[in-house]
Copies of this chain bind each other. A is one copy, B any other.
Amino acid sequence: MESCSNKTLDKIVKDNLNLEQLKEFNRIYYGREDHCKIKLKQTSLTASEKYNLEVAAYTFPALNEEVRKPRVVKLGLVQHSIVLSTSESILDQKKSIFNKVENIINVAASEGVQILCLQETWLMPFFLCTGEKDRWSEFAESAENGASTKLLKQLAKKHSMVIISPILEKDNNGVWWNTAVVIDEKGNYMGKHRKNHLPSVGSFSETAYYATGNTGHPVFDTKYGKIAINICYGRHHALNWLMFALNGAEIVFNPSATISEFGESFWGIEARTAAVANGYFTCSVNRVGTEEFEKKDGKKVSRRYYGSSYVTAPNGCRTPGLSKVKDGLLIAEVDLNLCRQVKDYWGFQMTARLEMYAREMNTLQ
């Protein structure tokens, strides 16, 4: 029997409640009684078997309007484990991950995904837990011209897909950043966003590795929608979420690399609260799998990421999470018209009193 701790909450509950109870659970926990699943293509099911990849797809419809046409977009979220041991050569490690992710992107393309987001620093093991820096330096890449950007430009063009690629960036000046690169559907480099808030929690600290983001809160006006990226720990900061909204975002991605001890119990609520508060879709992507490192002194460090990637609509409805242990592709077909419909209904933006808060914040010591 599968251990409880490997199962998502959705699975635990689904297996034990009757239909009426499950509807009530879903109404509260997921915001809607039915998950509105979309049927997958046979080729996706085959690929799912072949790659041991969970593939799931859900839809978030909006009301029909008279003046505006529906703006239906397919989003894809990818969570994946590393492939080789962290003691292998850096080039081999990268190559193996590139291969895996390329396969997953091909599945996403065949399902019609138009905007795809990978997990935080997707092309490497998340070695920051070692506290060591020099040995891992070569995982860092140029945002504009690195190997991962080159690969994804090709795939983006081939599939007419916007791709968000969160990497470890090393700039021309030798400074490291935690950066999300955005590539448009023609395969052009569109821009980048650097992580705004860096964690130092317990013995884990990112501030020794890279600088705090200096790119503000850019929103990328892609062919398919206005998108922004709130990287990992930034999800704990309500103002980070807010500024992306004020700059026009309709979808905010939250690529992450987070483990159970660091707040698994609020993984499901922070991005959901942000979606409701700001009237946009949020896409929470977390790394999956166990990563082991041997430090210079021979000591071993191990980290287990819990996946559970999910999407929330601006009305607070969310998908179930992807697996806690398997690679996964989560597809959400969303009508972006829902953003304005929800804003009109709730009035959170109309009642926000931002001038008052700007004034109050200016008086802070």
Copies of this protein in the assembly total 2
Which of B16, B317, B351, B362 makes the CB contact (< 8 A) with A198?
B351
Partner of A358, one of B7, B198, B362: B362
Question: Is A269 touching B263 in the complex (CB atoms < 8 A)?
Answer: no
Contact indicator A200/B347 (Cβ below 8 Å): yes
* Chain B residues, CB < 8 A from A216: 356, 360
Q: When the two chains form their complex, are residues B276 and A270 in contact, meaning their CB atoms are under 8 A apart?
A: yes
- Name the contact of A265 in the complex, choosing from B28, B360, B364 (C-beta under 8 A): B28
Q: Are B246 and A242 in contact (CB under 8 A)?
A: no
The contact string, 1 if C-beta is below 8 Å from chain B, for chain A 262-290, is: 01111011101100110000000000000
CB contacts (< 8 Å) of A276 on chain B: these are 236, 263, 266, 270
Q: How far is the CB of A206 from chain B (nearest CB, A)?
A: 10
How near does chain B come to A343, taking the closest CB pair, in angstroms?
12
Question: Which A338-365 residues have C-beta < 8 A from chain B?
Answer: 345-348, 350-354, 356-358, 360-362, 364
Q: Closest approach, in angstroms, between the C-beta of A312 and any C-beta of chain B?
A: 10
- A263→B316 contact, CB < 8 A: yes
In angstroms, Cα B270 to Cα A340, docked, is 21
Size of the A side of the interface (Cβ < 8 Å), in residues, is 66
Residues of chain A in range 231-280 having any CB-CB distance to chain B below 8 Å: 233, 236-239, 241-243, 246, 263-266, 268-270, 272-273, 276-277
Q: Which residues of B contact A362 (CB under 8 A)?
A: 358, 362
What string of 1s and 0s marks CB contacts (under 8 Å) between A200-218 and chain B? Answer: 1110000000001000110
Task: Please give, as numbers and ranges, the residues of chain B lying within 8 Å of A357 by CB-CB distance.
Answer: 239, 243, 361
Does A128 sit at the interface, judged by CB under 8 A? no
* In the bound complex, CA of A270 to CA of B20 (Å): 26
User: In the complex the two chains form, is B16's CB within 8 Å of A4's CB?
Assistant: no
- Contacts A239-B238, A265-B316, A352-B239 given; indicate if A199 touches B347 (C-beta within 8 A): yes
Residues of B within 8 A of A348 (CB): 236-237
Residues of B within 8 A of A223 (CB): none
Instruction: Confirm or deny: A5 has a beta carbon within 8 angstroms of a beta carbon on chain B.
Output: yes
Q: Is A29 an interface residue (CB 8 A)?
A: yes
Inside 8 A of A94's CB, which chain B residues have their CB? none
Q: How far is the CB of A187 from chain B (nearest CB, A)?
A: 32
A13 to B233, CA, bound (A): 31
Q: Which 7 A/B pairs are nearest by Cβ-Cβ distance?
A: A238-B238, A358-B361, A269-B269, A273-B273, A31-B265, A239-B357, A4-B24
Told that A16-B17, A239-B353 touch, could you supply 16 new A-B pairs with CB distance under 8 A? A4-B20, A4-B23, A16-B21, A28-B268, A29-B29, A197-B352, A198-B351, A200-B351, A202-B345, A212-B353, A236-B277, A238-B273, A243-B357, A263-B346, A269-B273, A354-B361
A sample of 8 cross-chain residue pairs with beta-carbon separation below 8 angstroms, ordered by A number, consists of: A5-B24, A200-B351, A216-B356, A217-B360, A263-B276, A263-B316, A273-B273, A354-B364
